[in-house]
Amino acid sequence: MTFKLNADQVRRIIYLRVKKRLSADEIAKTLGVSRSSVYTYLHRNGVSTARVARIGGREIPHHHYSKLAKWMKAHPATELPKTVKEIMSATGCTKAQVTTYLYRRRKKLRAFFADLPDLHKLPLRLRNKKKQFIYTKDLGAYIVSASFRTSTVTIRSGEHEFVVDLDRFVKAISEVKKHA
């Protein structure tokens, strides 16, 4: 059996969703209608029904930075310790926050390396940790490997091995890609 809601009820559904940020279940209970009716009228009026994360009754937007990501932005020159426990004690973050941050970073970097262009074709000059420079156009055959644990990229070409800071490498490649 279907029934139609009057205009006031529809306005109230939209108000409760948009202004009060109530879920479809909460709106249905408040108005005494079914959850499917709430979804139907939200969809018809172009209102998002995407779930919103809540922590302690507080809404967390999708672009929310984790506590560790905020800490990293506030301390850009600080290198993260090697273990999760050390990171937790240094930053004041929970184990879940640390592991989530590391997982998301690894996932993002894997996607970056999967799409890595041929370094021979890029006009790059990279500086390694020993302050030596490497010109990517001068490389012979090479292998690039990344260590997420130590935040380094190792470029091996013949007998030479260059260890470059991971964030600098990503930034340099991204800049060249932008201008190409």
- The answer to whether residues 151 and 100 belong to one domain is no
- The answer to whether residues 49 and 17 belong to one domain is yes
Kindly state whether residue 2 falls inside one of the protein's structural domains. Answer: no
Residue ranges of the chain whose pLDDT lies below 50: 1, 53, 55, 58-63
Kindly state whether residue 1 falls inside one of the protein's structural domains. Answer: no
Kindly state whether residue 173 falls inside one of the protein's structural domains. Answer: yes
- The answer to whether residues 129 and 164 belong to one domain is yes
Count of domains for the chain: 3
> Which two tokens mark 140?
């012979």
Kindly state whether residue 30 falls inside one of the protein's structural domains. Answer: yes
Kindly state whether residue 123 falls inside one of the protein's structural domains. Answer: yes
- The answer to whether residues 132 and 93 belong to one domain is no
Q: Which residues of 114-142 are buried (b: 16+ CB within 10 A; e: fewer)?
A: eeeeebeebebebebeeeeebebeebeeb
pLDDT of residue 89: 92
Kindly state whether residue 39 falls inside one of the protein's structural domains. Answer: yes
pLDDT of residue 1: 45
Domain that residue 150 falls in: 116-179
pLDDT 10s digits, 97-115:
888 888 888 888 888 888 8
- The answer to whether residues 103 and 129 belong to one domain is no
Kindly state whether residue 168 falls inside one of the protein's structural domains. Answer: yes
- To the question of pTM greater than 0.95 for the whole model, the response is no
pLDDT of residue 130: 74
- The answer to whether residues 138 and 120 belong to one domain is yes
Taking each continuous run of H as one helix and of E as one strand, the counts in the chain are 7, 7
Strand, coil or helix: what is 86? helix
Kindly state whether residue 81 falls inside one of the protein's structural domains. Answer: yes
